[in-house]
Amino acid sequence: MTFQELWAFAARNPVYSIAFVGLTAAIIANEAARLLRGYKALAPSQVTALINQENALVVDLRAASDFQAGHIAGSKNVQMAQFDPENKQLAPARALPIVLVCQNGVTVNGAAKRLKKAGFERVHILEGGITAWRQADLPLVKGKA
């Protein structure tokens, strides 16, 4: 396809052309925001490696009842309503990698931004949350931590 043919198609189909440009701009903006946010989304297997190799602190932001029903071994439950980067469980862990966990991987974004703003360097989120962890057939522990 030549440039003239592409230009002629765009001229004949302005709605498609505008939609294409808009979607392309949205994808680029989304990827740029993801790269600049300062924390990284990890797959369950990457979280497992980080826990095993670098003693990562896993912070579960779900409600206490959800946490007790099943959580990642060794994780700490800090509910979002009480989440504070200066929390006694978090503040000493500034040098460790921290992995934030919620149910579906959505709630953690605000907490990750707060940790980065407070000076935590190695902040990660579990992409897809506990739901993704379960789908990967990884073990959960029941009861209090």
- Catalytic residue numbers, as ranges: 102
Amino acid 123 reads V
Dist. CA 88–CA 18, nearest whole Å = 52
Torsion sign over Cα 98, 100, 105, 111: negative
Dist. CA 69–CA 143, nearest whole Å = 6
Cβ neighbours for 39, distance < 8 A, ≥ 6 positions apart: 112, 113, 115, 116, 123, 124, 125
Closest CA to 104 of 74, 64, 62, 136: 62
Residue 125, exposed/middle/buried by CB under 10 A (0-12, 13-18, 19+)?
A: buried
